[in-house]
Structure 1
């Protein structure tokens, strides 16, 4: 059977499991090109087909291009009407859509929010964690009641609703639905096992990993301050004739303190670029314009002592609401406090709810980003690329857009941002 199109994805995405499962049950062939995330989806030829630059993405043999997982899955299921994946009556089709939407918007988004906080991709907030977990449990309880009298969500055979829900539940039982919770969700677990062990789906879903205890947030370890040096033991001396103490004698008895270890960044040659002056210029001037902060920057920047970097979040597919993503940027900046004297940043959320990215620019001391950012426990969740804002026009446009908060990347416009000053 000829391929119905090309499918760009990364294997760990749950949407990919749903789409591949649809094809397996519908008997459809998909071509899966070699794909490298954050590289291939930023190339002009990819963006020409998928302006949002988002995966999963589907390039149909008939010229249709789709970039939303739920839409791709529904379209492919519709190519095999006899499969019954979309139901067999208008009523069943409506129920399939209802359960797909319920699983995506009521269960997945809550579980993904908790996972993002636990793994420091969002600032942790115990109140939000508790509230979201309670809401997720209410949804799971509702699903459990519904499944108590059914094998499948719609009708008597597997549909897109079952595949989508199972792909989401596979993550839920690995993050929040621990042994104690699962004891109350007997029918839900039975349903999950039924779907993932369908002969044509087992290889796609792989083994289900059940967490014994719900994952919890662990505060990043704080570096312990070095213990002060022990005072040397006083040697007993023979009694000497008493003499009148003077100031010099008192000074001789003091134990000199060892100097604190210097940050390697402080050992760099002195720079002509004063970061604090730049921060004041950025705060008090318009960003663009004849007397703007950007003009000040270009006139005073020291390319030997400082460097400019682009920063991009690695896991944009996990982002949900814009305000939550903005809070995540704020949390990242808070954890960079130890590097405040070496760093300036302007990072934003581009796009809209459930279709956004985090990107921006940093100005930092030295020519290597890691010594400046590795004080933040989650620095590895971001990618860093050095920019040449003097010779490369594309880099310059990106840098200026990030500082002016009008940056646009792959059709996504600046929605909210934070400055680190």
Structure 2
């Protein structure tokens, strides 16, 4: 098969599978770069020079054409095979193919992502949200089931881009939400899914599906059990002792082992700092952020860069973010889990962009020069990237001030919601 260019993706990523499947079905192929490391390779200057947003999947054809966003790449690749009408033969068919492909992503795929994030604790779990998301996904699947009851494929009598799109979405859903009970209600959806992934050209790409028997459920983290103290035995009536004996017994108290003092947090052992974090939190809360006499001016007047440091924070999984209010809840959950570090930390983080096209970013001000001892109290701290900022750098200073003032803008995405950790 002729290669059309290089596709940066994670091979097991369902969106990357979709593009590879479209290419394979059309008799084409894409090259996967060797030694690609996500969150590292796509942050390198040479990658960002081609794809400024750093997002995957991303395609560069052999003649230098560059494209990102899964739906756009899949549709473009489909146009390169006129003898395989993946986009239909008429304007009406093309429109219906776009309709069902969009429906598969927006009405089936997004609920899988949201439910997965809920049950895995990536965003704070809410039973009501889980129920609503599952009901909406099932309703969408039932619409597809009814449509497919009288059709082999979604639009024409042959596989189109819409069918491959739906198959890529279902391939993930069957590992999260579409369990045995749902599959019994959706025989036509499963029939289409298995028909597509078992095409000779596509079997190696999709592999053998892994069906869950029971939809994934949220499991609360185990609570620490406190050891029950044994019931105190009734103290025997003390015998009256001569005064001298009582004095001797008092001296023996020094020989009774005492409870060891609690180990101090290493952050408490750092040299005393002139910067008072609690004073900063009050200044930030009670002053205007920018302008003369504002909290940013107060910060620069008092900041101790030896005792404290400033860090940029970016969420690693921005491509999976959907509704902005859910992304804001994700920040809130992260901050809740940082509670044990409250006296060492201040944060200002926000959601930038719009539904289904947003990022999470912001700043932390923290005790010491190492971020890990402060943030690793939160189990999900590794879902974020941390970069130390140099406030002598004009670029870092501009980012820091914008995150504090909630007017940060990244790649055209404007701040729409934010939270502070104080």
Tell me the TM-score normalized by structure 1.
Answer: 0.89
SS of corresponding position for 1:415: strand
Q: Structure 1 residues 413 and 33, CA, compared in 2 at 3 Å: closer, same or farther?
A: farther
Partner in structure 2 of residue 88 of structure 1: 89
State which drifts further: 285-294 or 318-327: 285-294
d(CA) in 1 for partners of 2:129, 2:293 = 44
Partner in structure 2 of residue 16 of structure 1: 16
Contact 1:314 1:383 in 2 (8 A): yes
Q: Structure 1 residues 173 and 167, CA, compared in 2 at 3 Å: closer, same or farther?
A: same
- After TM superposition, list the pairs within 5 Å mapping 1:167-316 onto structure 2: 167-224=168-225, 227=227, 239-241=239-241, 259-316=261-318
Q: Give yes or no for the alignment of 1:329 onto 2:331.
A: yes
Q: Count matched residues.
A: 419
Partner in structure 2 of residue 31 of structure 1: 31
Q: Structure 1 residues 121 and 335, CA, compared in 2 at 3 Å: closer, same or farther?
A: same
Partner in structure 1 of residue 353 of structure 2: 351
d(CA) in 2 for partners of 1:251, 1:355 = 72
SS of corresponding position for 1:416: strand
d(CA) in 2 for partners of 1:388, 1:106 = 43
* Pairwise CA distance, 1:187: 2.2
d(CA) in 1 for partners of 2:222, 2:112 = 25
Structure 2 spans left out of the alignment, 5+ residues: none
Q: 1:240-294, CA deviations, whole angstroms, 9 ceiling, x for partnerless residues?
A: 4588xx9xx9999999766444333223222221100111121222323333322
SS of corresponding position for 1:29: strand
* Pairwise CA distance, 1:387: 2.1
Contact 1:316 1:357 in 2 (8 A): yes
Contact 2:2 2:27 in 1 (8 A): no
* Pairwise CA distance, 1:419: 0.9
* RMSD (CA atoms): 3.2
Partner in structure 2 of residue 161 of structure 1: 162
d(CA) in 1 for partners of 2:122, 2:189 = 29
Partner in structure 2 of residue 101 of structure 1: 102
SS of corresponding position for 2:16: helix
Tell me the TM-score normalized by structure 2.
Answer: 0.89
d(CA) in 1 for partners of 2:139, 2:2 = 44
Q: 1:67-126, CA deviations, whole angstroms, 9 ceiling, x for partnerless residues?
A: 211111011101112111112233322221121011011101111111111122222111
Partner in structure 2 of residue 140 of structure 1: 141
Q: Structure 1 residues 415 and 64, CA, compared in 2 at 3 Å: closer, same or farther?
A: farther
